[in-house]
Structure 1
Amino acid sequence: MTADQTPDPVTRAFTFLTERAVSLHAAAVLRMGYGVLYLGFLLREFRHRDEIWGLGSPWTPGLARELFGQTGGFSLLTLSDSGTWFEACYALALVTSALFAAGWHTRTLSVLFAVVVTSFHGRAIFMTDGGDNLIALMALYLPLTACGRRWSLDARRARFRCAAPGSGPVPRWRQQAGLVRSLLATLLHNCGMFVIAAQVCVLYGSAGLYKVQGSLWRDGTALHYVLHLDLFRPWPALSQLADEHGLLLAVAGHLTVLVQVAFPFALFSRLKYVMLALLLGMHLGIAVLLGLPLFSGAMIIADAVFLPDSLLLHLARVARPPWRRPATTPGPPVPLPTQPTPGALDPRVVRGSS
């Protein structure tokens, strides 16, 4: 290929997907966010675990197995009717969520986290609030990503391995195997992040278009009626106070529809930051006024996929305690290798970067 020739679209797309892993810090935020969120969810429901997922649930393990026979579903909790097995599965879910959030052997834990989340979700399929569905989807997508390369115990271990002295020359076959492994990991990560972003766009777009079809959302009274539903009134006095401002509720309803429909079209402009701020306010309002913290938390974490790594690093520096901030301006961070050079590949770095 001569210098004036440009590669075809397929080559450019393949190069973009395999050249560099994108949004590694955003992937780390997704890992930490969903790990901590699901751990908090399990701890919150610890006292009621038997009524929701155990033998005391109205939706018995036998009924769950009958449904799985029709839908092809699977759950670890239905493999045995023993109470000891259920408690062991619950303990496994708690430990898995904590270790996954910390980024310990993330590749393996991400798969185990997906199995745990889908098992608990499928066991109580009729007791979800929307947040469970999104967490289950994200748990299936995250094993594709390199969500353990940043802000994790794996990343810390990889830095120590990079600092350790080498152990002699590396065989060429191991260099080539490491190169192929790195290419595949980068490709899967980028595709996984794009799928997560597309999932969030579809979710917002479809929700907005669905609201447009309803007359209550068109005339601005939808939020008024929602605030009077007993199932969504954790703070009746607060709901009554909000309902007294009918004009603000109407504006909030129309703004919600507008932002959800327009969000997928604003991703390639700076307007997306304004919309993300509005969506953050909307989800916080849902968590407080409607009593759906799990759903709101799942959506807020999913929105982080659209934040650039530079912004996340800046927020991390700002949030760092004063006594942990460097006295002088630090130099540029040394990134972990995402695309090794065939002639200088160290298998310890490749193993640690996953």
Structure 2
Amino acid sequence: MKTEQTPFVPTSPGRQAPRVTDNVKEWLRHQFGALHTALIEQPISLYAASVLRIGYGLLYLAFLLREFPHRDEIWGPDSPWTPALATQFFDLTGWFSILTLSDSRLYFEGCYALAVVTCALFMLGWRSRAVSVVFAIVVVSFHARALFMTDGGDNLMRLMAVYLCLTACGRRWSLDARRNRLRASTVYCASRSAGLGAPDLWCQLGAARRSLITVVHNCGMFVIAAQICIVYGAAGLYKVQGGLWGSGTALHYVVNLDLFQPWPMLSHMVDSQQMLVAVVGYLTVLLQVGFPFILFSRLKYVFVTMLFGMHLGIGVLLGMPVFAGAMIVADAVFLPDRFYRFLGRTWRRTFSRAALRRKGTTARTETPLVPARSTG
């Protein structure tokens, strides 16, 4: 008995093409939707931006207070690099500084006091939108006034001060965030009691303003991350070209320079460990060259931790605290917001437990001892 067999009909490529095309279109639509959400709808790295604000505000405030006794020799009217020389140099380079607008000592002291107050307000996050612009002007002005006394840390801090003007760095851990929370609760109660809605035009303008702020903030954070990657990549590739880093002897010559010996005994002790010096040199080049390529992997956290340790060693061993602090604060931009939220919860939990423990100890101390009543 013969069984009927269905003849094999080959599938033409034309029938599979629409299905593959639909999958590609769906994938592209999903990717563009995610990109649209990341750029326009949701601000990214708000905690990281706040860490940058607090870090650079505190660092420059400490720098100005540290150099307060020497302010006249560095930036004042009696500096060897006089305001007239600085103005002539600005005509050639295009720099500017508010410190060269007048030769009066009273004006200089007022600018210095304004710089100190601006750094403190910027660190605290008071009116961050306006204060961030003033902070950038202060950093650029002091940097340009003593341009030949700056180093890589000053250059990076100047760039970050300008970039932070684009970000919403006052949304978290700031006085602005506290004021916005109080205002939001007040507005919500008023709207509930009044029961009135806002006009559509004002709602649309508010939505457009929020979208614009989100786009500018996200672009600013992307620029900051790209700048750090360029700094590390360029520094690593520059080291690879030299023979000293290839032979592992570069750090030996660095720690033996008088300019980078704040503690000569410590420098000589480190230099005596030849294997350690060679390993640290090779590891430095590896971290700087490889960092831009591991940003989207879990190795990012290992690299960031090692970079923290490297910059801390630079600040202590080579006596470059401003450069080390500027790089450490900049590296914090690559840590996600969930990490900072975890730190915030841990901080609040620790202090709440300490407060409860202290309250309990105080209550036990202040409780009067009542003698037991005799029954006999």
How much does 1:326 deviate? 10
Instruction: Describe the SS at the equivalent of 1:166.
Output: helix
How much does 1:16 deviate? 2.5
How much does 1:11 deviate? 6.2
Instruction: Describe the SS at the equivalent of 1:87.
Output: helix
Specify every segment of 5 or more residues in structure 2 that has no aligned partner in the other structure, as ranges. Answer: 1-21, 357-376
2:206 matches 1:182: no
Q: Tell me how large the CA RMSD over aligned residues is.
A: 2.0
Alignment correspondent of 1:316: 344
Q: 2: distance between equivalents of 1:179 and 1:172?
A: 10
Q: Determine which structure has the larger helix proportion and give its number.
A: 2
Alignment correspondent of 1:348: none
Alignment correspondent of 2:61: 39
How many percent identity over aligned positions?
A: 62
What TM-score, normalized by structure 1, do the two folds share?
A: 0.88
Question: Relative contact order, CA 8 A, sep 6+: which one is greater?
Answer: 1
2:179 matches 1:157: yes
How much does 1:43 deviate? 0.3
2:153 matches 1:125: no
Which of 190, 194, 199 is residue 166 of structure 1 equivalent to?
Answer: 190
Q: 2: distance between equivalents of 1:127 and 1:243?
A: 28
Q: 2: distance between equivalents of 1:185 and 1:326?
A: 39
Kindly provide the amino acid, as one letter, of the partner of residue 253 in structure 1.
Answer: G
What does 1:311-350 correspond to in 2, within 5 Å? Answer: 311-320=339-348, 322-324=350-352
Residues 319-354 of structure 1 show CA distances to partners (whole Å, capped at 9, x for unaligned) of 4473435999xxxxxxxxxxxxxxxxxxxxxxxxxx
Q: 2: distance between equivalents of 1:246 and 1:65?
A: 48
Contact 1:204 1:263 in 2 (8 A): yes
Specify every segment of 5 or more residues in structure 1 that has no aligned partner in the other structure, as ranges. Answer: 329-354
2:325 matches 1:297: yes
2:171 matches 1:143: no
Q: 2: distance between equivalents of 1:158 and 1:304?
A: 25
Kindly provide the amino acid, as one letter, of the partner of residue 79 in structure 2.
Answer: S
How much does 1:57 deviate? 1.2
Contact 1:317 1:325 in 2 (8 A): no
Contact 2:38 2:44 in 1 (8 A): no
2:112 matches 1:90: yes
Q: 2: distance between equivalents of 1:289 and 1:319?
A: 31
Q: 2: distance between equivalents of 1:327 and 1:269?
A: 39
Residues 71-128 of structure 1 show CA distances to partners (whole Å, capped at 9, x for unaligned) of 1111000111111111111001000000001000000001110011000001110001
What TM-score, normalized by structure 2, do the two folds share?
A: 0.83
How much does 1:270 deviate? 0.5
2:245 matches 1:217: yes
Which of 124, 130, 137 is residue 102 of structure 1 equivalent to?
Answer: 124
How much does 1:318 deviate? 2.8
Kindly provide the amino acid, as one letter, of the partner of residue 120 in structure 2.
Answer: A
Kindly provide the amino acid, as one letter, of the partner of residue 166 in structure 1.
Answer: A
Which of 293, 300, 304 is residue 272 of structure 1 equivalent to?
Answer: 300
Residues 116-162 of structure 1 show CA distances to partners (whole Å, capped at 9, x for unaligned) of 10000011100012111000000000010111001110000011011
Q: 2: distance between equivalents of 1:319 and 1:273?
A: 21
Kindly provide the amino acid, as one letter, of the partner of residue 229 in structure 2.
Answer: C
Kindly provide the amino acid, as one letter, of the partner of residue 286 in structure 1.
Answer: I
Residues 46-83 of structure 1 show CA distances to partners (whole Å, capped at 9, x for unaligned) of 00000000012111111110011111111000111111
Q: 1: distance between equivalents of 2:78 and 2:131?
A: 29
Contact 1:37 1:297 in 2 (8 A): yes
How much does 1:209 deviate? 0.4
Which of 237, 245, 263 is residue 235 of structure 1 equivalent to?
Answer: 263
How much does 1:313 deviate? 1.5
Contact 2:136 2:158 in 1 (8 A): yes
